[in-house]
Amino acid sequence: MKKTLPILFFSALLLLFVFSPVFAQSAGPTPSDDEVNAVAKQLFCPVCENTPLDVCPTQACAQWRDLIRLKLTEGWTEDQIKQYFVDQYGARVLSAPPLEGFSWFIYIIPPIFLAAGVYIVFRAFRAMRKPVNAAVQETPVQTPSDDYLRRVEEELKQRK
């Protein structure tokens, strides 16, 4: 009896050691906070205004982060989780809205305004440079044509 007890104990320990990875794999490894936040930061809290899910302190957001953790544990991909959130709470939860409907404006209007702004600034700079060039060209053209000035200059040269 004294000999069988340690044998049984070590056998149980061995079985536990051998089968524990199998059980762990079937449940999936628990995702770290970083892994959860990597998905959460791509989503916005549907209740609080303009608050990314990874930094939102409310109970609702904590529940959503737990849900992300659960889905990751079940083997869902980032895209699948994001799609689940869109189906449940609408496209407004996405930090980068999809290219459809009014969301197009978000992607189109800023570049258009930026290009227009650059164009206007470029034109303004060109307009500012023009009078300077004209003045430089103007001086040599006007001097030789003025007979009176030419004579004054000649007299001045003679006096020197």
**Which residues contact other proteins by CB under 8 A?**
46-47, 58-60, 63-64, 66-67, 70, 86-92, 102, 105, 109, 112-113, 116, 119-120, 123, 126-127, 130, 134, 137-138, 142
Spatial CB neighbours of 90, under 8 Å, sequence gap ≥ 6: 46
Least distance from C-beta 143 to other proteins, angstroms? 13
Find out whether 94 and 44 touch, Cβ atoms under 8 Å.
yes
Q: How far is CA 8 from CA 1, 3, 5, 14, in A?
A: 10, 9, 5, 10
Q: Between residues 102 and 148, which has the closer beta carbon with respect to other proteins?
A: 102
Q: How far is the CB of 148 from other proteins (least distance, A)?
A: 17
d(CA 76, CA 68): 9
Identify which of residues 105 and 107 has a Cβ nearer to other proteins in the complex.
105
Task: Output the smallest distance, CB 108 to other proteins, in A.
Answer: 10
Measured from the CB atom, is 15 or 47 closer to other proteins?
47
Ordered alpha helix ranges (H), the chain:
4-27, 33-40, 59-73, 78-89, 103-145, 147-159
Q: Minimum CB separation from other proteins for residue 104, in Å?
A: 12
Q: Smaller CB distance to other proteins: residue 12 or 120?
A: 120
